[in-house]
Structures are given as structure tokens and as C-alpha cells.
Amino acid sequence: MIIITLVAVWIDAFTRPGMTPEFLYETDPMPLYGLLKLLTSNYHILCVILPFLMVSLMAFLLVNFNTTVFFINERTFLPALFYILLGGFFPEYQLLNPVLPASIFLMLAIMRILEGYHKKGTAYNYFDAGILIGTGSLFYENLIWFGLLVIIAIVTIRTGNLKEIVISILGLLTPYLITFGIYYIIGKDLRELIDLLLNNLFVRSSEYIFSRLTVVALIFLGLLVLISLIKLIQQMNTKKIKSRKTFSIIIWIFLIAVVVYFAVPSASVEIIWLISIPISYILAHYFVFVKKKLLPEILFSLFFIFVLLIQLWYLK
């Protein structure tokens, strides 16, 4: 089901590999994304194959994370399925873009954060998580705001260890120190790098024009997420401590992504690849534990139909 859905959602992308939308991150790319673009510039098919493989990897990581931590309390492939479907809401972003590699680094950072739950003494996992988020932000600069997640996690699932907060910030800065060092060694203008970072953070992105169908689909998705979130909060006290803390981190990811979208000028709907991570888990939890199955089946069918209609609409 997941494999068929993945191919169905992405099949149109393979028929238009040369159509690359001109977003802010395309005209003024971050260093690592600029390097990735340079490597794939002469191979248009790679601009579809690579993001397709990245989404496949993300689907695997989403399932693997729940299997390892077991916070949903059931082994399920639903997070992978929802992540794939959520990406289908915006077909324009089913091409090479910096948010997909950034989302992989964010997912790896989340996994490292939770690995520090039972660590005795100083947990250097948070230094690793900082490095992962910092590296991911060299693809997509707005990932840097998720550095707050590491500090929130230290306060939430640890005891607010000041040393761990300091090393997490150092981890976040390390990729930038290395980048500035490389620019200095090869003789590139450091001022240009600073301007690049500031542009990717504070220059307003091109306004995305929502179709009526997409607006209706997003309203439906918003209501579904709200219902699922309420259901999750109601059941939080019945879960084990580690599961509660894991879900609290997931909710924080969702909140940070929403704030970044509305408050940061350079952020646009490409952030769907980041916000889909917490939404996939929140929806999966709802559909696993809801008792009456008729309503969830109707909601899931509508969800699937909306994605299908958007894909068909984009073909016009």
C-alpha cells in the first residue's frame, strides 16, 4: 500500500523533471544545497530521483523511530503513509529542494535527542543533535530555528543541565564555524556568506498562490489534525513516561514549524516537509487508537481523495 501510494503520488513528478520552480532557495541557495544543485545541474532526472529517494528514506526513519522508542505503543506503518500523502498536497515541491535533506537531518536529530533519555551524567547526544540541525540548516536555513527544540528537549526530558544546553548550542554553531573556515581558506568573501545567511532568513519568499481545492483540503487537514491532537492530549496521562515525553517533543516540533511559517518572512509552504513529521505521528496515533472505526475510515478516505484530486488538478 505504501509503495503503491508513493509511486502514485510521485509519478507525475517523473514526467516533468525539467520544471524547477524559482523559489528563494533556488535563486539564493544555502552552501550545501548550492553544492547539491551544482552536482545535479546537468542531470535533470536526478532532480526527481533524489527527492523521491529522500522521501522513501524519511518514510523508513519515521517507522523505525516508532519501532525503536515504541511511543505509539503499536508497530504501525501509518506515519510513513501519512508523510507520503502530506507531501502530495503541494506537487510543486516534488522536485529537488533543500527542505527534504534538511528534514532528514531533523529526523536524525530527534532520534539522537531521545537516545539521551536514560543517559547518566552529561548526554553528548545533544551536541550531536545540534550538529545535525546545524548541518541541515546549511541546506535550508530555517531549520536553524529548530535548534530551540534541543534546548526544549533538555529541559523537558532531562533536568535542564546547563552544560548540556551549552554543548547543544556549540553543536549547532559547529557546522557554521567549519563553513566560515572553508570560505576563509579558499579565499571567498565572508561578507557574501553572511549576506547569504541573512537573505535566507529574513528576505520575504515569493507568495504562494493557493488554489481553491488546496484551501479546502488544508481546512480539512487542519480539522483532522486538531481532532487528532485533542485525542492525543486526552490520552497523554495514560501513557508511559518516555512516551509522554516523546509526544511532547513531537508537539513542540509542530508548534515551532507553525510559528516559523507564520513569523519568518523567508518561510513558505515548502515547510510542509518539516511539519509533516509531527503531523504524521499525531494522525497515526489517532487512527490507531480511535475506537469507532467508521468515522476514521471516512476521514482517511477523504484525506486520500483530496491528495488524489490535487495531483489531478496539477496535471491540468
- Residues 128-159: tens digit of each pLDDT: 999 999 999 999 999 999 999 999 999 888 77
pLDDT of residue 119: 78
pLDDT of residue 20: 53
**Under 8 Å between Cβ of 29 and 37:** yes
Half-sphere exposure of 89 (CA within 13 A, CB side): 24
pTM of the full predicted structure? Answer: 0.94
Does 67 fall in a domain?
no
CA distances from 310 to 2, 3, 146 (A): 19, 19, 30
pLDDT of residue 316: 62
Those residues whose C-beta lies under 8 Å from the C-beta of residue 238, and which sit 6 or more positions away, are: none
C-alpha closest to that of 107 among 136, 127, 68, 87: 136
Domain span holding position 137: 2-52+76-315
pLDDT of residue 22: 63
Does 65 fall in a domain?
no
Does 93 fall in a domain?
yes
Using a 10 angstrom Cβ sphere, with 0-12 exposed, 13-18 middle and 19 or more buried, the burial of residue 120 is: exposed
At 157-192, the pLDDT tens digits run 877 678 999 999 999 999 999 999 999 999 999 999
pLDDT of residue 314: 77
pLDDT of residue 255: 97
pLDDT of residue 16: 67
pLDDT of residue 41: 81
Does 310 fall in a domain?
yes
**Under 8 Å between Cβ of 266 and 99:** no
Does 148 fall in a domain?
yes
CA distances from 51 to 27, 63, 101, 171, 185 (A): 19, 18, 8, 27, 32
CA distances from 237 to 244, 257, 279 (A): 8, 25, 20
pLDDT of residue 19: 53
pLDDT of residue 45: 84
pLDDT of residue 23: 72
Does 286 fall in a domain?
yes
pLDDT of residue 60: 96
Instruction: Give pLDDT < 70 ranges for the chain.
Output: 16-22, 160, 315-316
> Phi, psi at residue 14, to the nearest 5°?
-75, -20
Based on the structure, what is the number of domains in the chain? 1
pLDDT of residue 21: 55
Does 59 fall in a domain?
no
Does 57 fall in a domain?
no
